[in-house]
Structure 1
Amino acid sequence: MSTSGSDTGDLSAISSPGMVGRGHELAALRTALSDPPAIVLVEGEAGIGKSRLVQETLATRTSDRRQVLLATCPAFRQPFTLGPVVDAIRPAAEDVAGLGLSGLAGALRPLFPEWATALPPAPEPAEDAAAARHRLFRALAEILDRLNIRLLAVEDVHWADEATLEFLLFLASRPRQRISLLVTYRPGEIAPDSLLLRLSSRQPVGVARLRLTLEPLDVAGTANMVSSMLGGEPVSDEFATFLHDRTDGLSLAIEESVRLMWNRADLVRRGSSWVRHRLGEIDVPPTVRDAVLERAVRLGPAAQAALRAAAVLTDPAAEDTVVEVMEPAGDPASRLVGLAEAVGSGLLREDPRGLVSFRHTLSCRAVYEAIPAPERRAMHRRAAHVLEGVTPPPVAQLARHFREAGDTTAWCRYAEQSADLALASGDGATAVVLLHDLLTNGVLLPADVVRLTGKIPFGLLTGRDRYRELMDALRRVLATGQPTPGEAAEIRFQVARLLLQMEAFAQARIEMERALPDLGHNPAEAARAMMFLGLPYGTTTPAAEHLRWLRRVAQVPASMAPVDQLSIRIGRASGLLLLGEEEGWAEAALIGDDAATTAERLHVTVGHLNVGHMALIWGRYAEASRVLALGVGLAEKYQYRKLRAVGQVTLTQLDWLTGAWDGLAERAGSLATDEDLLQPVSRLAPAMVTGLLHAARGDQDRADECLRLVLEQADRQGGAEYSVEPAGALAKLRLGAGRIDDVLQLTDEPIRFIEGKDTWIWATELAPARVEALLMTGRVSTASDLVDAFAAGVCGRRAPAPHAALATCRAILAQHRGDLLSAADQFALAAEAWQGLPQPYDALLSRERQAGCLLRADRSNAALPVLAETFQGLSALGARGDAMRVMHTLRAHGVEVKRPSWRGGRRSYGDQLSPRELDVVRLLVGGRTNREIATALFLSPKTVARHLEAAMRKLEVSSRTALAVRVVEAGVVTEDPAGDDR
Structure 2
Amino acid sequence: MVRRASTDASPIPALSVPRFVGRDREFAALGGALGNPPAVVLIDGEAGIGKSRLLREFLASQAERGCRVVVGACPELRVPYTLGAVVDAVRDGVGSVSGLRLSGLGGALRPLFPEWATDLPSAPEPLEDATAARHRLFRAFVEVFSRLDVGALVLEDVHWADEATLEFLLFLVSRRPQPVSVVVTYRREDVPPDSLLLRLTSRLPADAHLVRLTLKPLGIGETAAFVSSMLADGHVSAEFAAFLHARTEGIPLAVEESVRLMHDRADLIRQDGGWARRRLDRIEVPPTIRDAMLERVGRLPHDTRTVLYAVSVLSGPADYVTLKAVTGLPEDRFTAQAADALGCGLLHEAGPGQWSFRHSLACHAVYDAIPAHERRAMHLRAGRALEGRPLQPVAQLARHFRLAGDVEASCRYTEQAADLSTQSGDVATAALLLHSLVTSVALLAEPLVRLVMKIQFQALSGSDPYSKIIDSLQSALGSQALTPEQQALVRFQIGRVLMVAGEIEAGRLEILRAVPHLAPDALEAARARTLLALPLGNARPVSEHLRWLHEAPAVALSIAPHHRLLLSVERAFALLMLGEEDGWAAAWQIPDEPADPRAASIVAAGHTNVGEEAMRWGRYDEAAERLAKALVLAERYELLDCFDSIASSQAHLDWFTGAWAGLADRAERLLNDDDRVRLKDRCEAALVAGLLQAAAGDRDEARERLRFAGRDDQQRIEAAAALAQLYLRDGDVDEALRLTEGPSESTVGTGIWPRAVEVTPVRVAALVAAGRLGRAADLVTAFEHAVGDKDAQAPQASLVLCRAILAQAEGRLADAAVLFADAATAWEGLPRPYDALLAREHHAHCLLADGRHEAGLPVLSDVLRGLSALGAHNDADRVARFLNGRGWDTQARGRGRPSYGDRLSPRELAVARLLVGGRTNREIAEVLVVSTQTVASQLKSAMRKLRVTSRTALAIRVVELGLTGEQGRSPAADE
Q: Shorter-normalised TM-score: what interval? A: 0.5 to 0.7
- Counterparts in 2 of 1:272 and 1:854: CA distance versus 1, 3 Å: farther
- Aligned-pair CA distance for 1:442: 0.8
- Equivalent position of 1:734 in the other structure: 727
- Aligned-pair CA distance for 1:511: 0.8
CA distance in 2, matches of 1:854, 1:434: 68
CA distance in 1, matches of 2:883, 2:683: 37
- Note if contact 1:216-1:249 (Cα within 8 Å) is conserved in structure 2: yes
- Aligned-pair CA distance for 1:887: 2.1
Q: Does residue 613 of structure 1 match 2:549?
A: no
Unpaired runs of 5+ residues, structure 1, are 1-15, 29-43, 55-212, 224-235, 276-283, 903-982
Q: Does residue 241 of structure 1 match 2:236?
A: no
Unpaired runs of 5+ residues, structure 2, are 1-25, 39-50, 62-148, 160-164, 205-213, 219-249, 261-299, 897-975
What SS class does the counterpart of residue 465 from structure 1 fall into? coil
What SS class does the counterpart of residue 369 from structure 1 fall into? helix
- Equivalent position of 2:800 in the other structure: 807
- Equivalent position of 2:537 in the other structure: 538
- Equivalent position of 2:747 in the other structure: 754
Q: Which amino acid aligns with 1:544?
A: S
- Note if contact 1:875-1:900 (Cα within 8 Å) is conserved in structure 2: no
- Aligned-pair CA distance for 1:601: 6.0
Q: Does residue 882 of structure 1 match 2:888?
A: no
1:172-183 paired onto structure 2 within 5 Å: none
- Note if contact 2:530-2:548 (Cα within 8 Å) is conserved in structure 1: yes
CA distance in 1, matches of 2:728, 2:443: 58
Alignment equivalent of 2:888, drawn from 894, 897, 908: 894
Q: Does residue 473 of structure 1 match 2:468?
A: no
Q: Which amino acid aligns with 1:216?
A: A
CA distance in 1, matches of 2:809, 2:704: 30
- Note if contact 1:609-1:647 (Cα within 8 Å) is conserved in structure 2: yes
- Equivalent position of 1:118 in the other structure: none
- Aligned-pair CA distance for 1:776: 5.3
Q: Does residue 766 of structure 1 match 2:765?
A: no
- Aligned-pair CA distance for 1:493: 0.1
- Equivalent position of 2:965 in the other structure: none
What SS class does the counterpart of residue 827 from structure 2 fall into? helix
CA distance in 1, matches of 2:720, 2:771: 22
1:556-635 paired onto structure 2 within 5 Å: 556-592=555-591, 603-604=602-603, 606-625=605-624, 627-628=626-627
Name the structure, 1 or 2, with higher relative contact order (CA <8 Å, separation 6+): 1
CA distance in 2, matches of 1:854, 1:272: 60
- Note if contact 1:446-1:477 (Cα within 8 Å) is conserved in structure 2: yes
- Equivalent position of 1:520 in the other structure: 519
- Aligned-pair CA distance for 1:608: 4.2
- Note if contact 1:47-1:253 (Cα within 8 Å) is conserved in structure 2: no
- Counterparts in 2 of 1:710 and 1:565: CA distance versus 1, 3 Å: closer
Q: Which amino acid aligns with 2:798?
A: A
- Equivalent position of 1:551 in the other structure: 550
- Aligned-pair CA distance for 1:595: 6.3
1:582-616 deviations in whole A, cap 9, x for unaligned? 22123233345686899856655653443343233
Aligned residues: 673
What SS class does the counterpart of residue 513 from structure 1 fall into? helix
Range with greater deviation from structure 2 (651-660 or 332-341): 332-341
1:874-953 paired onto structure 2 within 5 Å: 874-892=867-885, 893-897=887-891
1:91-139 deviations in whole A, cap 9, x for unaligned? xxxxxxxxxxxxxxxxxxxxxxxxxxxxxxxxxxxxxxxxxxxxxxxxx
- Aligned-pair CA distance for 1:471: 1.3
Q: Which amino acid aligns with 2:889?
A: V
Q: Which amino acid aligns with 1:895?
A: D
- Equivalent position of 1:216 in the other structure: 152
CA distance in 2, matches of 1:285, 1:518: 63
- Counterparts in 2 of 1:446 and 1:325: CA distance versus 1, 3 Å: closer
- Equivalent position of 2:367 in the other structure: 372
Under a length normalisation based on structure 2, what TM-score does the superposition of the two structures give? 0.56
- Aligned-pair CA distance for 1:535: 1.7
1:262-301 paired onto structure 2 within 5 Å: 274=203
Q: Does residue 846 of structure 1 match 2:839?
A: yes
What SS class does the counterpart of residue 216 from structure 1 fall into? strand
| Same amino acid, percent of matched pairs | 39
- Aligned-pair CA distance for 1:882: 1.4
CA distance in 1, matches of 2:385, 2:672: 50
CA distance in 1, matches of 2:675, 2:655: 22
- Note if contact 1:613-1:624 (Cα within 8 Å) is conserved in structure 2: yes
CA distance in 2, matches of 1:532, 1:615: 21
1:481-520 paired onto structure 2 within 5 Å: 482-520=481-519
CA distance in 1, matches of 2:37, 2:635: 38
- Counterparts in 2 of 1:472 and 1:853: CA distance versus 1, 3 Å: same
- Note if contact 1:848-1:867 (Cα within 8 Å) is conserved in structure 2: yes
- Equivalent position of 1:412 in the other structure: 411
1:310-349 paired onto structure 2 within 5 Å: 348=350
Q: Which amino acid aligns with 2:577?
A: L
- Equivalent position of 2:824 in the other structure: 831
Alignment equivalent of 1:25, drawn from 35, 38, 41: 35
CA distance in 2, matches of 1:484, 1:777: 58
1:897-951 deviations in whole A, cap 9, x for unaligned? 299999xxxxxxxxxxxxxxxxxxxxxxxxxxxxxxxxxxxxxxxxxxxxxxxxx
CA distance in 2, matches of 1:271, 1:665: 22
- Note if contact 1:292-1:363 (Cα within 8 Å) is conserved in structure 2: no
- Counterparts in 2 of 1:261 and 1:447: CA distance versus 1, 3 Å: closer
CA distance in 1, matches of 2:716, 2:722: 10
- Equivalent position of 2:664 in the other structure: 664
- Counterparts in 2 of 1:617 and 1:313: CA distance versus 1, 3 Å: farther
- Note if contact 2:313-2:379 (Cα within 8 Å) is conserved in structure 1: yes
CA distance in 1, matches of 2:411, 2:773: 68
What SS class does the counterpart of residue 560 from structure 1 fall into? coil
- Note if contact 1:655-1:661 (Cα within 8 Å) is conserved in structure 2: no
- Equivalent position of 1:529 in the other structure: 528
- Aligned-pair CA distance for 1:514: 0.6
- Counterparts in 2 of 1:890 and 1:773: CA distance versus 1, 3 Å: same
- Aligned-pair CA distance for 1:490: 0.8
CA distance in 1, matches of 2:751, 2:170: 49
Q: Which amino acid aligns with 2:695?
A: A
- Counterparts in 2 of 1:285 and 1:25: CA distance versus 1, 3 Å: closer
- Aligned-pair CA distance for 1:293: 10
- Aligned-pair CA distance for 1:568: 2.0
Q: Which amino acid aligns with 2:786?
A: G
Q: Which amino acid aligns with 2:880?
A: M
User: In angstroms, what is the RMSD of aligned CA positions?
Assistant: 5.9
CA distance in 1, matches of 2:697, 2:677: 31
1:55-102 deviations in whole A, cap 9, x for unaligned? xxxxxxxxxxxxxxxxxxxxxxxxxxxxxxxxxxxxxxxxxxxxxxxx
- Aligned-pair CA distance for 1:516: 0.8
- Note if contact 1:307-1:367 (Cα within 8 Å) is conserved in structure 2: no
- Note if contact 2:150-2:180 (Cα within 8 Å) is conserved in structure 1: no
- Note if contact 1:579-1:761 (Cα within 8 Å) is conserved in structure 2: yes
CA distance in 1, matches of 2:582, 2:307: 66
Q: Which amino acid aligns with 2:764?
A: V
Q: Which amino acid aligns with 1:435?
A: L
What SS class does the counterpart of residue 548 from structure 2 fall into? helix
What SS class does the counterpart of residue 372 from structure 1 fall into? helix
What SS class does the counterpart of residue 454 from structure 2 fall into? coil
- Counterparts in 2 of 1:780 and 1:442: CA distance versus 1, 3 Å: closer
CA distance in 1, matches of 2:404, 2:410: 9
